[in-house]
Amino acid sequence: MTAIIGGLGAATLWAIATLASSRSSRMLGSRVVLAWVMIVGAIAGVPMLLVSGVPTEIPPDAPFLLLVNAWWEPLEVRLPAVAGSTTWSVAVDTTDPPAGDDVERRVEPAAPLQLGPRSLILLRGEPLAT
């Protein structure tokens, strides 16, 4: 829920900054406007960061792999060889509708992975038990 509220807040601030900066950049100059937009964004974002805190359920050394497809057609990819020592689960898939909180989709390192058009997949890795 925090991510959704944060995303909506960021989108709102971005829209306001874009509308305000078009006129003000002509009046003040683009560097000054950019500096103010960054300052206002930091002032608005830091309280949300302090309220949400650091997630405790994800270990700090957990590997993540972000796969992005900016093309308009689906792509088939394979994970890199170094990913073979890790089991991967899908944390975010923008083409896949949510299946529920209790369903975890696993990805085999050697199996091909489909990336939908204009989408991203965030994989969370866990080292294989030895």
- What is the amino acid identity at position 28? L
Q: What is the pLDDT of residue 51?
A: 82
Closest-CA residue to 128 (of 92, 83, 79, 77): 83
Angle at 53 between CA 50 and CA 54, to 5 degrees: 135
pLDDT digits (tens, 9 = 90+) for 58-73: 666 678 888 888 888 8
Low-confidence ranges of the chain (pLDDT < 50): none
Tens digits of residue pLDDT in 73-95: 899 988 775 655 677 888 888 88
| Mean pLDDT, the chain, integer | 78
* Strands in the chain per DSSP E: 64-69, 75-77, 86-93, 106-107, 113-115, 119-127
How is the chain split into domains, by residue range? 2-52, 64-127
- Domain boundaries 64-127, corresponding CATH code: 2.60.40
pTM (predicted TM-score) = 0.51
Contacts of 33 (CB under 8 A, 6+ apart): 21, 24, 25
Per-residue confidence (pLDDT) for residue 99, from 0 to 100: 60
Q: What are phi and psi of 55, to 5 degrees?
A: -65, 135
